[in-house]
Amino acid sequence: MAKTKPQTYTDPDRGRVVTARFVVAVLMMVVGVAWIAFYYVAVRAGSPVVGEPAPEAGSPAFMADLGDWNYLIGFGLLFLGLVVAAHPSTPLGRGRGVVVGMLGSFLFGLVWICVFYIISDDVSVLPVFDDLGQRNLFVGVAAMAVGFVFATKWE
């Protein structure tokens, strides 16, 4: 009786598709985006309306105490996850994945900066942009820096 091999997710030319590094990278990216979204929607104090008392920050209190540092944590996890994904043991770190990661990061940074410049007269029209102000430029440049990390892996 023939024994069947357990199914593994491998590409015969490039190796395993799902590795521990890839799972950690995706988890870091998802947690980074979720951190920013949760802070923006549930924790941060909204913009005060003229003539009304300023709204209080929500809970958990430790996130409210961090204030704008929450954006650094969220974007930092997102970009660090992308940097971890640039390793050759992950799908984004080899072959076409490097080009996708590099161009995606470059274009994300460029679009982020362009959108900020277009709406810079009234940044209150877009969520997250309104809280970051001029620090939106750091987000765009950091995304481009991640693109350069991918560019060093391109063969």
pLDDT digits (tens, 9 = 90+) for 15-64: 677 889 999 999 999 999 999 999 998 888 776 555 566 567 777 888 88
Q: For residues 107 and 114, is the Cβ–Cβ distance under 8 A?
A: no
Tell whether 27 is covered by a domain: yes
Tell whether 97 is covered by a domain: yes
Tell whether 10 is covered by a domain: no
* CA angle (100, 12, 155) in 5-degree steps: 40
Distance in angstroms (rounded) separating the CA atoms of residues 135 and 77: 17
* pTM greater than the 0.85 cutoff: no
Structurally, the chain folds into a number of domains equal to 1
Q: What's the burial of 88, exposed, middle or buried (CB within 10 Å: 0-12/13-18/19+)?
A: middle
Q: How high is the pLDDT of residue 92?
A: 87
Domain that holds residue 127: 17-151
Q: Which of 139, 145, 143 is nearest to 126 (CA)?
A: 139
Of the listed ranges 56-60, 78-82, 129-133, the least confidently predicted one is: 56-60
